[in-house]
Structure 1
Amino acid sequence: MTSNQSIELYESLKRLLKPQFNEVCFYLKKEYDCDLSHVDLDKAPSESAKQLIELIEQYPQGLTHLSEVIDKVAPQKKFKLNVDDLRPHLPNRRPQESKLGRAIQTHHHKQRPLLCLIHSDECQCSDRFVDRLVQYYLPKVVPGDGISSYFVHCHFSQGIDLHQEISEQLASRLGINPFAQPSEIVEAIMRERSPIIFHTDMCTKNWSRCGGMKAVHNFIEFWAKLDIPSTHNHLLLICLYFNYKDIKPSHFLTRWFKKKSINDQIRAEFRQLENENFSEKFGINGIVLPELMDIEKEEVYAWARDHLHSSFLDSVQPKIDDLFKSPDETIPMCDLARSLREILEEFPPDILGFNNDK
């Protein structure tokens, strides 16, 4: 291949499905009288594409004609992946999903909330992890026609009655009077005809100004005291996700090291809480999920096999390889999702194949 154009066309040919590649050859023969007898259509896409390019380069304006035919058979219009599409956020979170799934299966008292604490560095997209639970994972393990999800904003600041704030936010999200009594909030929850998730976020900045782990205990106690009648038979899942946030370094990195030590301290407290028996200590079933960690290359390969059309895998794999400087390197979810989104936008929309319901 002797030019940038031939290299670009080669990449386009490799992405075609076999029927599309055959159709390209058909049009080249019919409209431009090209002799393609030496192109072996039974070879791997990369080999057939290379043979075709080498033959077409011998014809005057051959590459131009090939470009026109490819656009005719499979218009290579760059598409913009919907910003709400969660698929780039779906590489491995199996340890967390597995632990939550087991907790749901053993949570037999549906009239009581099930509490789930999630913690991670802010670059792990914990909010999108909750979204993937709602859209992809929980429908597989929770019976019903859908899951209602509500974000409950809390300030976690000193001087604010956290229980009162949760009550007001719940009432607002459920569409009732913000100053409704607890019994009215329970009635609104009872009217829901599907499993419900209420999720709240918290971060390092909140920790020092709201009493640290005491605020988390206070949050848990609100839900432990919520009196829901035993006739309620839908899952009520409460998620609190904590984001470890760093600050920009100042002179001599003093503030950075201080904040880093706070995050290490908080991690230790969450890991200690992970070993607690929530039912005995708080009177509510609850779990702390393993911390959301960076993603490995093999896990991205698995994502590609599950969610992309198989005919594109040979073209996508080198791009995945380019994301990792070494086989052992890992990537934060936020960076990985952004890169995967950019990769997907280089291909036609049908790259998102038949396996994306796995």
Structure 2
Amino acid sequence: MNQKQNQQKSQPLQPINEIQQEVGRNSGQNIGQLNNGQALNFQNVQNIIFQQSGSSSSQIPPFQSKKELPPLLPYLANRREQELQLSEVFLKFLKQDPPCHLVCIIHGDESQCHYNFLERMRKFSLPQWLELEPHQPIIPTYHLEWPSRLKNLNELQNQLSKNLADSVLGNSLHSCEKINDFFSSYPNPIILHTHLLTEDLQNQGFEVLNKLLEFCHHLHKEIISQQLIIYIFIKYKVKRKSLKKTLWFKLIFSFGCDFFRQYRCQQINKKARQYLQNLSNLDMNHLQPLSVIVLPELVGINKGEVENWVRSKNTKQFVGEAMIEPLIQKVGEMFESWEEQKSSDTIPMHDLAEKLVELLKSLTTVQDESA
């Protein structure tokens, strides 16, 4: 080996540009150069990139002992009925000229994970329909806080306008004109979402839903530089309050009060479902050019739907082809156990997602141990 080759081989790695490092995903590690056991230029940095003299830079890949579970993967089981109906309306919505807003009403009981459905639409479905590239910005979303304590419905439009300004611009005193200017910089539709509970319908009455649609129509006149997708979530209360151990007469009294509250909630839920069914069949010409759709109710998921999820591209990419059949068998056992305990062949999304997370993590752990 000649002298030139010896010099190249012994030449140390040189830090370049922004120093970067990923060792066991720990940040803020101490690094430096060593010369005969002595540290030179010792410093604390977040990351490090090394480059061999005369070669191009390359980042050291992070070390992972296990695959990280995509947060939304367990929530992609089913919801196909809702997704298909929304896709048809959405494609028409995109072609409208002049542009207008789309109002989507989504309802279901409190165990069906409404917010995760919103995230599914935002991060999976809408980018697909808009044909967005992976590097393009994710669709922005703003929470429109519902004024649950408001009694005078004539003040609803003004209160919602303030809440929207606070959510978008951080100041409730800003006008819709400033919101319109702010939204004009976005290249794609923007999502607004608000959430009503059974208690809100009980306390404020069903007229509040008509007032909410009127506010959406008001936004069509005020927000003209950008198309909005307005999600209205209606969440039904179904869970009964657990009764703590107490004296028998207090227990009977508590049970009676709880039963009465539960009965009232069930009646409100029933009226809400009927109202939304009527709304979906109603001619809403008075709201034009606003588009309004009431999606089918979010309900529990059955075994066949979860098996289809197991065979889907997203799940297969995570667990690998070899684990599809073992996962289907585990899903069968999960539903068999659930039916024995609950006497139901469907599992609410909240419970299902928790169980799928456990299954996926257990399977990937087995894979890692056998690798």
TM (normalized to structure 2)? 0.67
1:110 positional shift: 5.9
Segments of 5+ residues of structure 1 without an aligned counterpart are 1-75, 352-358
Partner residue, 1:191: 185
1:83-128 residue CA offsets vs partner (Å, 9 max, x unmatched): xx00000011111111111111112146321100000011111111
Partner residue, 1:140: 128
From 318, 324, 336, give the equivalent of 2:335: 324
**Structure with the largest fraction of helix:** 1
Matched residue SS, 2:169: coil
Q: What is the identity, as a one-letter code, of the residue corresponding to 2:103?
A: L
From 74, 95, 103, give the equivalent of 1:115: 103
Mapping for residues 1-358 of structure 1, pairs under 5 Å: 81=69, 85-107=71-93, 108-109=96-97, 111-144=99-132, 145=136, 146-156=138-148, 157-159=150-152, 161-175=155-169, 177-212=171-206, 214-226=207-219, 227-228=221-222, 232=225, 235-246=227-238, 248=240, 250-252=254-256, 253-278=259-284, 280-283=285-288, 284-306=290-312, 307-308=315-316, 309-325=320-336, 329-348=345-364
Contact 2:177–2:223 (CA<8 Å) still a contact in 1?
A: no
**Distance in structure 2 (CA, Å) of the matches to 1:336 and 1:101:** 25
Higher mean C-alpha displacement, 340-349 vs 264-273: 340-349
**Distance in structure 2 (CA, Å) of the matches to 1:209 and 1:115:** 23
1:268 positional shift: 0.8
1:167 positional shift: 1.4
Q: Which has the higher contact order (CA 8 A, sep 6+)?
A: 1
Contact 2:179–2:223 (CA<8 Å) still a contact in 1?
A: no
Contact 2:107–2:297 (CA<8 Å) still a contact in 1?
A: yes
**Distance in structure 1 (CA, Å) of the matches to 2:197 and 2:268:** 11
Identity score, percent: 29
Q: How many residues align?
A: 271
Contact 1:110–1:236 (CA<8 Å) still a contact in 2?
A: no
1:64-100 residue CA offsets vs partner (Å, 9 max, x unmatched): xxxxxxxxxxxx9677746xx0000001111111111
**Distance in structure 2 (CA, Å) of the matches to 1:106 and 1:205:** 34
Contact 2:302–2:347 (CA<8 Å) still a contact in 1?
A: yes
**Distance in structure 2 (CA, Å) of the matches to 1:128 and 1:313:** 24
Where does structure 1 differ by over 6 angstroms across 4 or more consecutive aligned residues? 76-80
**Structure with the largest fraction of strand:** 2
CA pair 313-276 structure 1, distance change in 2 beyond 3 A = same
Aligned Cα root-mean-square deviation (Å): 2.6
